[in-house]
Structure 1
Amino acid sequence: MMRKTLARTAIAAAALLWMIPAAEAQTATAPSTTARIVLVHGAFADGSGWRGLYDVLTARGYRVSIVQNPLTSLKEDVDATTRVIERQDGPVILVGHSWGGTVITAAGVHPKVKALVYISALAPDAGETTAQQYEGFPPASEFVIDKQSDGYGFIDLQRFKAGFAADTNDADAAFLRDSQVPINMSVFGTRLTQAAWRTRPSWAVIAKQDKAFGAGMLMHMAKRIGAKITEVPGSHAVFMTQPKAIARVIDSAAQDIGSAPSVAKVR
């Protein structure tokens, strides 16, 4: 009898030891409910400009992915963004700067996307073009685009810092100027077929010294989409120069959708 009892105990212990690693593996691979942050850059820049914000967000416990838009067409930029969204294993907060606002407006209808954050960004409606958003507002005198013979545009080299990056130091402004990614200017005439802000909660960060848009344009778009608005000092390069302020807004969005990481702190 004693032998049978000991045998059963040994079998039970062995089974338990076998189950523990399996349970640990399941816990390790189970997707977190913490929001995934997907950052979408605008025209004339690439994803490297998000580095400061990436560092702040990852320190707070977020998983962050950065889209590299080809800037060749709205469809191709939306496709690039959708590929990154598809890779996420939790609810997505989609963040767009400038032209990236148009991209997240179109791509944000993906079912994984739960919130939108516009950083000095464009926000057309379905049936509208991006170019239409400029109508009725004064031209941005410091923001001058040189259109090339192939239809792509660069920001004028002499006015780059004043128009795009006035609150950066001379070295950073020069690097941004000389590493510009041109955009196919025809994208501004493409009509959107859907607008994610109509079905997703939205937040907007507006740089008060942004010279890339006419006076009042950013505020008009943000109010029209019903965004929760935060104004900060800064140029059009606010996505680089105000990472902590932007991170606080993303924290608010994550808390609102119930997916903020437990370690996130407002700093």
Structure 2
Amino acid sequence: MTMNRRSFSAALIAGAAASLISSRGMAATPAPTKARNVVLVHGLFADGSCWSEVIPRLQAAGLNVTSVQNPLTTLPDAVASAQRVLDRQDGPTVLVGHSFSGMIVTEAGVHPNVSALVYVAARAPDAGEDYTALAKTYPTPPASAGIVFDGDEGRLTEAAFLRDFAGDLPEAKARVLFAVQEPFHKALLTGKTTHAAWRSKPSFYAVSTEDRTINPDLERFMAKRMGAKTIELKSSHLSLISHPDEISQLILEAAGQRA
């Protein structure tokens, strides 16, 4: 059967489109849009001050930075708190999450202001995925044994916090962070994402190779699955405190400010 030039061009375009759709099943990492806004979200056993080493570095680079105070009550509440901050941004924004807040980044990252996602030793589920079941396919990290509950509120014991959460920080600094630990509600852990923003947004991931809170191999799996630009740091779970230069540089790259 013969094919005229117009039919051939249409078929070529359709084939290219099908190829693109297929390849986006696992998000690639296209060049990020230049952004001047960064929104940071903290995870469990912390509050917004856990970004205190990263914030001044980003501000010195001319970025407008906001650290969300995650309520740690339910996933919808936590996502809503991030969305309110994203609504206030005046243009392209890099959304950054540490630890549990990767759930929030994955869900809220579909916001139109979000130009790129950065995961720092963070959860990165697919839409509707049972993260707990996924995590159980890897050896359980030591910090899990240090979680204690007072009714519906969970927290890390001091021993687990110092050893398994902030293990590469000076003890005095780790104790300060322990003092501002915000308890989380049991209901928070039952939430599932309904979106996977990493399937459509440029994504970046910082793996903590010495992590005792999330299994490092699980972090590697999630980073590879999302097609993220990935760095590995010889760090505890708190790389944002122990390696702020590297984390800040990764965020700057996501903001299109670093080649």
Where on the TM-score scale, by shorter chain, does this alignment land: which range? Answer: 0.7 to 0.9
Displacement of 1:244: 0.8
The amino acid that maps onto 1:201 is: P
Residue 163 (structure 2) pairs with residue 162 (structure 1): yes
Alpha-carbon distance change, 147 to 186 in structure 1, aligned in 2, over 3 angstroms: farther
User: Is residue 153–residue 185 contact of structure 1 (8 Å, CA) maintained in 2?
Assistant: yes
Look up the SS of the partner of 1:216 in the other structure.
helix
With structure 2 as the length reference, what TM-score do the two structures score? 0.83
User: Which residue of 1 is the match for residue 28 of structure 2?
Assistant: none
Q: Which of the pair has more CA radius of gyration? A: 1
Deviations 1:185-223 (A, max 9, x none): 332222211111111110001111111023411101111
Matched, 1:107 2:98: no
Give the aligned length.
226
Structure 1, gaps ≥5 residues long: 1-32
Q: Write the letter of the residue equivalent to 1:195.
A: A
1:239, 1:78 → 2: CA distance? 21
Distance 1:161 1:83 in 2: 33
* 1:142–1:192 distance in 2 versus 1, CA, 3 Å: closer
Contact 1:102 1:124 (C-alpha < 8 Å) held by counterparts: yes
Corresponding residue for residue 213 of structure 1: 214
Cα distance in 2 for residues equivalent to 1:231 and 1:36:
25
Residue 254 of structure 1 is matched in structure 2 by: 255
RMSD of aligned residue pairs (Cα, Å): 1.6
Structure 2 partner of 1:9: none
- Per-residue CA deviation, residues 211-242 of structure 1 (Å, 9 max, x unaligned), is 10234111011111111100112111111121
Which amino acid in structure 2 is aligned with residue 102 of structure 1?
M
Cα distance in 2 between the residues matched to 1:114 and 1:60: 18
The one-letter code matched in structure 1 to 2:201 is: R
- 8 Å CA contact 1:129–1:188 kept in 2: the answer is no
Structure 2 stretches lacking a partner, 5+ long: 1-33
Q: Say if 1:63 and 1:215 are closer, same or farther in 2 by CA, change over 3 A.
A: closer
Match of 2:135 in 1: 134
Give 4+ residue runs of structure 1 displaced > 3 Å after superposition: none
Q: Shift in Å at residue 149 of structure 1?
A: 4.5
Partner amino acid, structure 2, of 1:137: Y
CA contact (8 A) 2:212 2:236 kept: yes
For the residue of structure 1 that corresponds to 2:122, the secondary structure is: coil
- Contact 1:130-1:189 at 8 Å conserved across structures: no
Instruction: Give 2:189's aligned residue.
Output: 188
1:239 partner SS: helix
Q: Which has the higher contact order (CA 8 A, sep 6+)?
A: 2
Q: Deviations over 1:119-162 (max 9, x none)?
A: 00000111113323312100112443434242221112222211
TM-score (norm 1): 0.80
Report percent identity of matched pairs: 39
